[in-house]
């Protein structure tokens, strides 16, 4: 399985989009500051993820979400996700 995930900085609200085959370990790396690009903006919370069987599909989705075209899609996905899985 492959995951495309989005985490949000609790420090300033910025979003980070990523791809991994081990979501639990990858989130732990972000939490512990082992990822250079996210270390300075800790702590992070997981706000969205999708599961893919095919690695190419997951990578394609990650690149799309990081592109300018993916911004409106990302907003809609996050809105729908938060409506389905509200955080307390």
Per-residue pLDDT reduced to its tens digit, 19-76: 999 999 999 999 999 999 999 999 999 989 999 999 999 999 999 999 878 877 887 8
Return the number of other C-beta atoms located less than 10 Å from residue 45's C-beta. 13
* pLDDT number for residue 74: 80
Domain range for residue 76? 2-84
Instruction: Between 38 and 85, name the one with better pLDDT.
Output: 38
CA distances from 36 to 48, 49, 72, 81 (A): 21, 21, 27, 28
CATH assignment at residue 17: 3.40.1440
pLDDT of residue 88: 46
Q: What is the number of structural domains in the chain?
A: 1
Whether pLDDT at 87 is above 70: no
The backbone torsions φ and ψ at residue 7, rounded to the nearest 5 degrees and listed phi first, read -115, 155
On the CB side of 62, CA atoms within 13 Å amount to 21
Query: What is the reported pLDDT for 85?
Result: 73
What dihedral angle (degrees, nearest 10) is formed by the CA atoms of 54, 21, 24, 6?
-70
């Amino acid at each position: 399985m492959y995951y495309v995930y989005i985490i949000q900085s609790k420090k300033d609200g910025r979003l980070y989009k990523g791809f991994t085959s081990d979501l639990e370990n990858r989130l732990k790396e972000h939490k512990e500051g082992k990822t250079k690009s996210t270390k300075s903006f800790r702590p992070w919370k997981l706000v969205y993820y999708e599961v893919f069987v095919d690695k190419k599909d997951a990578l394609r989705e990650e690149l799309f979400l990081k592109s300018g075209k993916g911004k409106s899609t990302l907003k809609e996905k996050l809105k729908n996700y938060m409506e389905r899985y509200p955080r307390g």
